Amino acid sequence: MRASAVRRDSLPQRIFDAIGDYATHTPARFAILVFAGLIALFTLLFSLPIATASGESAPFVDALFTAVSVICVTGLSTVDMATFWSPFGHVLTFIGVEIGGIGVLTLASILGLVISRRLGLRQKLLAAGDANPLRIRRGPIAEGQAVRLGETGSLLLTVAVSVLVIEGITAVLLFPRILIQTGDLWSAAWESVYYSAMAFTNTGFVPTTEGLDPYASDPWFLIVMMLAVGFGAIGFPVIYVLRRNVRHPSRWSLHVKITLITFGLLFVGGALAYFILEFDNPATMAGMDGGQRVLQSAFISSMARSGGFATLDMGELDGSSLLVTDMLMFIGGGSASTAGGIKVTTLAILFLAAFAEARGNNDMEAYGRRIPGDVLRLAVSVVLWGATTVAAATIGILLITDDAPLDFVLFDVISAFATCGLSTGFTLQAGDGSQYILAATMFLGRVGTVTLAAALAASTRRQLFRRAEERPIVG
């Protein structure tokens, strides 16, 4: 009797240990399974009659697409999010974007830290793999990382605190302006909290049918939103380092310096491009004064990186502006952030490699540090797989859609891959087949090409020989 009790008690522990061992040995595959499981769960919840305002079950394609968009913190939708879903559906959306924005493995590690008040090696490895793709593959890993394994606990604490503090401050700053607009205390409180979560997680859903229209020219509202989106997009490792050494730039890691410099250049360059390209566009900025042109240009540049909010109709942008937006969305935000895209550090690594080649240097160097070759190989893989995903999704949609313009389809596909959420209106009007393709693109974009590549590889393969060298012609 006692032996059987021991066996019954030990079975859950054995299951827990087996899951933990699988997660530790193959974190990439585990992350994909968890993301897929969450999407399946939220699809089921969004399909419930209680989740819709009409009290009827949502069509499967709408429930699935919304679940993917929520968990992948994208912001694209096939329905009017403000009117289609009930209060229960809005709560599901709010919870889902918080889970997706923080990261599944990071959130699990934070909960383990809160419950047990300690962080074991297994939890450290899971969280480290979620924060840094270079740690995902099995095998020996060099410890010259942006955040070392021993600092994982402090990083997790930074994630939890930054989410609460930044979203809280954003909600407080937005509340008076929204209260003036709505005149209702509870509505203003809910909308301010909702907007703060959607901004920091870089999702872009809006709680009302008019969206940002009442605040489209309000500097206070738009600047607060840009700051919240920016903090979410620079990445938790950057916030962690800035929190500890904000007054000592010399102590910043190479990752932080590269991220901040590239992030700033893209923001300024994007704003300048929109200011010039949309200056005479009667559908966007032609009738605005200089101050509003600067504000709107900065806002679009910030949101195109992954924020997903829009004060202008994306479908009315000039073709050249659409192309600029495509590029900004594809690049995205910082690594280990709530933003999507190939990440700004990936772009910086490619440029550093080009500069090194132009100067005839064998090594990539920046700020007195040498960047190893495996980082470049990973950056090239991310860009190639990202471009392949976008191209395949675009071609697939064009094959099943007759009258959709290429620039609109490409725009929404890149927005889906980069989990941005900006749309020309194509997603809402697309057929079921196109919406399924966009949902798959969102999943691939959020899970990440690095994670998928690592999931398909059992481990790092050691080759005990080197083949004869031969150089193909390049360029």
* Rounded percentage of the chain residues whose pLDDT exceeds 70: 80
Q: Which helix H or strand E contains 118, and what residues bound it?
A: none
Q: What is the DSSP string of 198-229?
A: HHHTT----SSTTTTGGGTT-HHHHHHHHHHH
More confident residue, 157 or 284: 284
Three-state secondary structure call for residue 404: coil
Beta strands 364-366 and 369-371: pairing type? Answer: antiparallel
Asked whether 276 and 262 are in contact (CB, 8 A), the reply is no
The answer to which of 343-347, 405-409, 471-475 has the lowest mean pLDDT is 471-475
Q: In the chain, count of helices (H) and strands (E)?
A: 20, 2
* Rounded percentage of the chain residues whose pLDDT exceeds 90: 57
Query: According to the model, what pLDDT value does residue 408 have?
Result: 94
Asked whether 51 and 181 are in contact (CB, 8 A), the reply is no
The answer to which of 62-71, 102-111, 303-312 has the lowest mean pLDDT is 102-111
Q: Pull the structure tokens for residue 231.
A: 């903090």
Q: Which helix H or strand E contains 443, and what residues bound it?
A: helix 432-447
Residue 117: is its pLDDT beyond 50? no
Asked whether 23 and 124 are in contact (CB, 8 A), the reply is no
The pLDDT tens digits of the residues spanning 202-222 come to: 999 999 988 899 999 999 999
Q: Pull the structure tokens for residue 442.
A: 């969102």
Residue 47: is its pLDDT beyond 80? yes
The pLDDT tens digits of the residues spanning 148-159 come to: 544 555 677 778
Q: Pull the structure tokens for residue 262.
A: 């590239």
Residue 121: is its pLDDT beyond 90? no
Asked whether 8 and 432 are in contact (CB, 8 A), the reply is no
Query: According to the model, what pLDDT value does residue 372 have?
Result: 86
Residue 141: pLDDT band by 50, 70, 90 thresholds? very low
Q: What is the mean pLDDT of residues 161-166?
A: 89
337: nearest Cα among 474, 132, 174: 132
Asked whether 419 and 73 are in contact (CB, 8 A), the reply is yes
Residue 21: is its pLDDT beyond 80? no
Query: According to the model, what pLDDT value does residue 6 have?
Result: 43
The pLDDT tens digits of the residues spanning 2-11 come to: 444 444 456 6
How many degrees, rounded to 5, is the angle at CA 106 between CA 100 and CA 111? 105
Write down the pTM of the prediction. 0.87
Query: According to the model, what pLDDT value does residue 362 have?
Result: 86
Rg value, the chain, Cα: 23
Contacts of 37 (CB under 8 A, 6+ apart): none
194: nearest Cα among 329, 303, 309: 309
